Structure 1
Amino acid sequence: MTETTTRPSGTAPGVAYPRLGLYIDGAWTQGTSGRTEDVLDPATGEVIAAVPLAGREDLDRALGAAERGFRLWRDTSVQERGKILHLAAEKIRERAPEIGRVMTAEQGKPLRESTGEANRAADMLDWHVEEARRAYGRIIPAGPGETLSVVKAPVGPVAAFIPWNFPAGGPMRKIAPALAAGCSIVIKASEETPGSACLLTECLADAGVPAGVLNLVFGVPAEISGHLIPSPVIRFVAFTGSVPVGKHLAGLAARVMKPSLMELGGHAPVIVCPDVDPVAAARACARGKFANTGQVCTSPSRFFVHGSIADEFTSAFVEAAEAVKVGNGLEPGTGMGPLISARRRDAVHRLVTDARDRGAKVLTGGSFVDGPGFFYRPTVLAEVPPEADLLSEEPFGPLAPILPFEELDEVIERANALPYGLAAYGFTHRADHADALVRGFEAGILSINHTGGSVPQAPSGGWKESGYGREGGSESLDGYLVTKRVSHKLVL
C-alpha cells in the first residue's frame, strides 16, 4: 500500500497519512459497500481521511480467505512462521517513527508515547513467536503397547475486535498470539484510528505473511460482529473494549459454542499506605493517570490515600497535574494530548459536573481547553461523595478523585466494591501491607509501588465483569490453541 494522501492544510503539517483500505486475501481494496466514515484529528477536530466500511460481500471474502489461509499457515512449520514474523517485527521497528506520527495524528497521544507503542508492538510480536516454540505437549505414562500423549494445535480462524485507544498495541495483542500459534485472523480495528492498523498490516504483508492469514476490515461494529462471530469459519473470538459490548459479543459467541477472550473495562483503585513518601507516590500516580489522557482500561482511577498523608499527597498531585503540558501530540514537550472525540470529552465533563453538583471540590482542571480539538484539563477532585457517578463509572479520561481512608482492611473492601476487577495498585514499603494488598485486591493485574502497564512476558486480564482470558505470558496462547489427547495403541 504505497499510495499516500497528505494531510490537508490546517492539520499537522508534514504528516503523510496512509491511504486507507481493507486488506483481504493478500490485497488492499476499498470494499464493495460504497460507505465510508470520516477520520478526525482529535487535536483539531478536522477530517484527515475517510475509511472504507466493509459490506457483507467483503466479510464473506475475508472469511473465505481466512479459511484457506489457516490451512496453509497451520501446516507451515513454527520455524518458518517465526522467520516471517520476526522480519515483520523488524519492519515495524524501522517504520516506528512513521507509525508513531500517524498514530498521534489520528489518536492524539504525544509522539513519544506513539512511537514507543509501535516499538512495543514489535517486541510483542517477537515474544509471541518465541513463546510459540514452547507450546509443548507431553507424554503420559500408559500401559504396555500404548502411547498416551497431549498435543497442542492451532484452534482455527480468529475474529478479533479492537478499540481505538492503542492503535498499534491493541491490534498486535490479538495478531501476535494468533499468527504465532498458527491461526489465521480477521481483525476489525477501530474506524477512529485506522491508519496505524493499516501500517502494521503493511509490515506483516511485506514480511511475507501469506494471503488470507491476516485480514483487516473496518465497518459498523454490530454488522461486523453479527456476521463474523456466527460464521462456521470462525473458531475463536477475541475482544478488547467496554463491559456492555463485551457481554454482547460473549453472548453471540456462546450461542454457537465458540470460546472467547474478553479484556474489558475497569475502574482501577490505588491504595496509598501511610509508610510511603506522599510526594513521590503522588508523582508516580499522576504519571499513570495522565498517560494516554487517561484513556486506558487499566488507568488508575480511584485514589485511596491514608488520612495521615492525604494533604501532602493531594498537594503534590495537583502540582503534578498543573505541570502537564496539554497540547497537540506532535508538538515538542507535550505531556498529554486530546481525548479521542467530542463524545468522549463530553462524557468526561458530565462526570465532573455530576460530582461537583453532589458536593465534590474540583482542585484543578474540570474544564475544556479553549480552541479547536477535544482537549480536557487534567483534573483532581476531593471530597467526592460515594453516590457520585465518577466513583462507579469508568471515567476513561484525565480525572483523579482522591479519597482518604484510615484502616487498610476497610479500604480494600471499598476498592473491591465495584463489579470490575481489571487492575489495582498499591503503594507501601511494608511487607505485611503489600501482602494484604496482593491477597485482598480482586483484580487480575496488580502493581505495587508503580502504575506501569502490561508487558509481553506476563499475563494480563480481568476478574469479575472485567472479562476472562489472559494476554501476555505463556497464558497468551491458550485461547489460540486447542489441546488434543492422543491414545495410540501400537498393535491391534
Structure 2
Amino acid sequence: MTDYPTLHMMIEGERVTAGSRRTFDVVNPVSGDTLAELPLADGADLDRALDAAQRGFGRWRYTPAAERARVLHGAAALIRERAEALARTATMEQGKPLAEAKLECMAVAAWFDFAAGECQRLYGRELVRPVGQRSVVRWEPVGPVAAFAPWNFPLANPGRKLGAAVAAGCSIILKSAEETPASALGVLQALYDAGLPSDVAQAVFGVPDEVSRHLLSSSVIRKLSFTGSTMVGKHLAKLAADNMIRTTMELGGHGPVLVFGDADIDKALATAASGKTRNAGQVCVSPTRFIVEENVFERFRDGMAERLAATRVGNGLDKDTQMGPMANARRPDAIGKFVADAKDRGARLATGGERIGNQGFFFKPTVLSEVPLDAEVMNEEPFGPLALVNPYAGEDAMIAEANRLNYGLAAFAWTSDVQRQRRIADQLEAGMVGINTHAIAGPDAPFQGVQWSGHGSEDGPEGVKACMVVKAVHEA
C-alpha cells in the first residue's frame, strides 16, 4: 500500500496534517486493512477555512471569465495526465474496478472543460425601456459555497462541486467523505497546479455533523451543495434554512426500469446487468426496481440472474474484475438485511443473496423476484448490487409502480413503441429519464431529481448557474 498518498486537509494552500487532531482510519475495502490516518478538522480549522473562503470570494468573483476558464482547462488537462494515478487511488480507497475509476477521471476532465466554456456564456439580458432608461438582468456569483460530497464517486462528486463554483466565480469549502479523501485531494490539487488561488478552494474533513453545523451557522456561507441520502439532505436543509442559504440537493433514488414486451430484451438485459453491477450498485441512479410486463417477465428475470451470477467479483485493481467490493463495512450488512426481510415476506431469490468470503466487503450480485411491495427494499434505496424483478399487467400498472415512491431521480424504460416512449417520458416523475438507454449523464446535461430526490441541478449550464444569483439593475 506504499503508493497510497499521505493524507491532509488543504486550508489556505497549506497541507494540514494530523498533529494533535483527531484522526479517521481510511480502510481498503478489499481487505479491511487501514490505508492511512486522516486528520479531522477542529473548530479553529473550520474558522480558518471560512476566513480564507471569504477572502477568496472577494478576489475570485472579479476575476475575468477568461482567467477562470484557463484554470479549469488547465486542471482538466492535468486530470487526464494523472488519470492512472488518480484512478488507482480511487480504487484503493473505494473499491470500484480500475476501469471505472479511469472513466470517472475522464468525466471530471470533461466537466471542467465544459464549465470553462460555460463561465464565458453566462449572459444576462437587456430589457426594452423608453429612451433615457436602461434595465439589465445580470448573473452574479452567489458567494462562498459549502460542498459535501459522498464516497461512491470519490473523483466525480468533488469535481462537480469544485468545477461549478470555480466557473461561477465563487469560493468553496469542500468536505468530501472521510472514507475516500485522497481522490478529492487529487482533484483539488489539479486546480491548484493549474493556477487556482489557494484561498478560493479549501478541503476539510471531520465529523460530518460537527462540520456541517459549524459551516452552515456561519454568515460567510451563501450556498450549500450536497450529494447524499435523503435523510441527511433533509437535516442539512433545515440547518441551511436558519441563514436562508441557497441549496442544491442531489439525494437518493430508487431507479424504476419499465421493460415492455416489445423491447429488445437482450439489449435491455445486457445494459441493465452492467448498470446494476457498476460500482457494486452504489450509484444513486442505479437501476433497481425492474417493472416487467408479464409476457416477458420470466425471460427477463432468468436472464438477469444468469448475467449477475456470471459477474467476476474481486479486487478492483485486478484487470479481470467486473465488480469490486462494497465501499465500507456498513454496506454488505445493509444489503444482507434487505435480502432477509424480502425473503421473509415471500420474495424469491434467483441468485446471490450473501457475502463473499470473510475478508473485505464483498457481496454477491443478487436478484430477487416477486418481491412484495411492503418489503423494506421496495421502499428504501438499497444502494448495492440488488435487482428487484416483478411482473406487471400493462402500461398503466407499470407507470403507477414507477411513480409509487416519493423518490424521483432517474427512471428508465425499454420499448420499441415510439408513441409509448413519448407517453412514458411525459408521465414518469423523475428528474432524468432514459428511454432504451441507461446513459443519462453528461457534462452538458443537468443532473437532478424531484421530490425526495432533491432539487437544483449539477452539470450543464444549470449546474454553473446553481452557484449564481440574478440581479436586476434599473437606470434612469
Give the TM-score taking structure 1 as reference length: 0.95
Q: 2:130 is paired with a residue of what secondary structure? A: coil
What is the CA–CA distance in structure 1 between the aligned matches of 2:322 and 2:358, rounded to whole Å?
Answer: 18
Match of 1:394 among 378, 381, 384: 381
- State yes or no: 1:328 paired with 2:315: yes
Preserved CA contact (<8 Å) 2:142 2:468: yes
Preserved CA contact (<8 Å) 1:31 1:58: no
The letter for the 2-side match of 1:69 is G
Preserved CA contact (<8 Å) 1:263 1:467: yes
Preserved CA contact (<8 Å) 1:271 1:305: yes
What is the Cα deviation at residue 40 of structure 1? 0.4
What is the CA–CA distance in structure 1 between the aligned matches of 2:241 and 2:358, rounded to whole Å?
Answer: 47
For 1:42, the equivalent position in structure 2 comes to: 29
Match of 1:359 among 328, 336, 346: 346
What is the CA–CA distance in structure 2 between the aligned matches of 1:86 and 1:110, rounded to whole Å?
Answer: 27
- State yes or no: 1:472 paired with 2:464: no
Match of 2:87 among 100, 116, 137: 100
- State yes or no: 1:221 paired with 2:199: no
Preserved CA contact (<8 Å) 1:86 1:126: yes
- State yes or no: 1:70 paired with 2:29: no
What is the CA–CA distance in structure 1 between the aligned matches of 2:248 and 2:426, rounded to whole Å?
Answer: 25
What is the Cα deviation at residue 329 of structure 1? 0.2
Identity %: 47
Match of 1:314 among 301, 304, 310: 301
- State yes or no: 1:280 paired with 2:277: no
Preserved CA contact (<8 Å) 1:31 1:54: no
Match of 2:47 among 49, 60, 63: 60
The letter for the 2-side match of 1:81 is R
What is the CA–CA distance in structure 1 between the aligned matches of 2:63 and 2:323, rounded to whole Å?
Answer: 44
- State yes or no: 1:463 paired with 2:450: yes
| Alignment map for 1:179-190 (pairs within 5 Å) | 179-190=166-177
What is the Cα deviation at residue 31 of structure 1? 5.7
Preserved CA contact (<8 Å) 1:33 1:55: no
Match of 2:290 among 289, 300, 303: 303
Match of 1:408 among 378, 395, 416: 395
| Alignment map for 1:115-126 (pairs within 5 Å) | 115-126=102-113
What is the Cα deviation at residue 280 of structure 1? 2.2
- State yes or no: 1:87 paired with 2:103: no
The letter for the 1-side match of 2:52 is A
Unaligned regions of 5+ residues in structure 2, if any? none
The letter for the 2-side match of 1:47 is T
For 1:156, the equivalent position in structure 2 comes to: 143
The letter for the 1-side match of 2:47 is D
What is the Cα deviation at residue 279 of structure 1? 2.4
Q: Deviations over 1:285-330 (max 9, x none)?
A: 1111110000001111100111111111112111110121000000
Match of 1:194 among 176, 181, 187: 181
Match of 1:135 among 122, 127, 149: 122
What is the CA–CA distance in structure 1 between the aligned matches of 2:291 and 2:18, rounded to whole Å?
Answer: 50
Preserved CA contact (<8 Å) 2:168 2:465: no
For 2:416, the equivalent position in structure 1 comes to: 429
Q: Deviations over 1:29-58 (max 9, x none)?
A: 126761000000001111011110000000
For 2:234, the equivalent position in structure 1 comes to: 247
For 1:368, the equivalent position in structure 2 comes to: 355
For 1:11, the equivalent position in structure 2 comes to: none
Name the Cα RMSD after superposition: 1.0
The letter for the 1-side match of 2:104 is E
Q: 1:17 is paired with a residue of what secondary structure? A: coil
What is the CA–CA distance in structure 2 between the aligned matches of 1:57 and 1:286, rounded to whole Å?
Answer: 48
Preserved CA contact (<8 Å) 2:68 2:119: no
Ranges of 4+ aligned residues in structure 1 off by more than 6 Å: none
Q: 2:249 is paired with a residue of what secondary structure? A: strand
